[in-house]
A = this chain, B = another copy of it.
Amino acid sequence: MGTIGAEQLKQLTEEPACPGCGVERTLRVLDGKWATLVVRELLAGPKRFTELRAALGAPSAKTLTDRLRALEHQGVLTRTVFAEVPPRVVYELTARGHSLSGVLHAMPAWGEVNGAR
C-alpha cells in the first residue's frame, strides 16, 4: 500500500473535466505535505536520499520514498542508483521539475509578508 497504486496512477493520467485548466494539473503534482518542499530542495541541486530526509525535517523513509516515486513517475525528477558500497541514490529535477520554480518562487514572497496569521 505504500507504493503507488493503480488507482493513484490512473488519477494522475486522467484528464480533468476542465479542459483548459492547468491549476488542477499543477496541484496534482504539488500534492501532499512534501512534494512542494522536495522540489524546493532539489532546485538547489541534486541530493541524496538521506540529505533530502534531513533537509525536510526527517519524514519517515516510507513517506519520503512514496513521494519521490510519485514525482519520478510524473516526470518531475530522476532517480539515479550508483552500484557502490555503500549504496548511493541521487535525486535530480528534470527540465519539467525545474520549470516549477516559477510557482515555487512566488511562495516565499507571499509567506514572508504574511507571517502573522
Contacts and interface: CB of A to CB of B under 8 A. Distances in A.
Contact of A115 (B22, B103, B107, B113): B22
A96 interface: yes
Interface string A82-117: 000000000000001011111111111111111101
A26 interface: yes
A11 B108 contact: yes
A102 B2 contact: yes
Given A9-B43, A22-B110, 15 more contacts: A2-B98, A9-B101, A9-B105, A12-B117, A13-B43, A17-B55, A21-B112, A22-B108, A22-B111, A22-B112, A25-B111, A26-B108, A27-B36, A75-B117, A96-B114
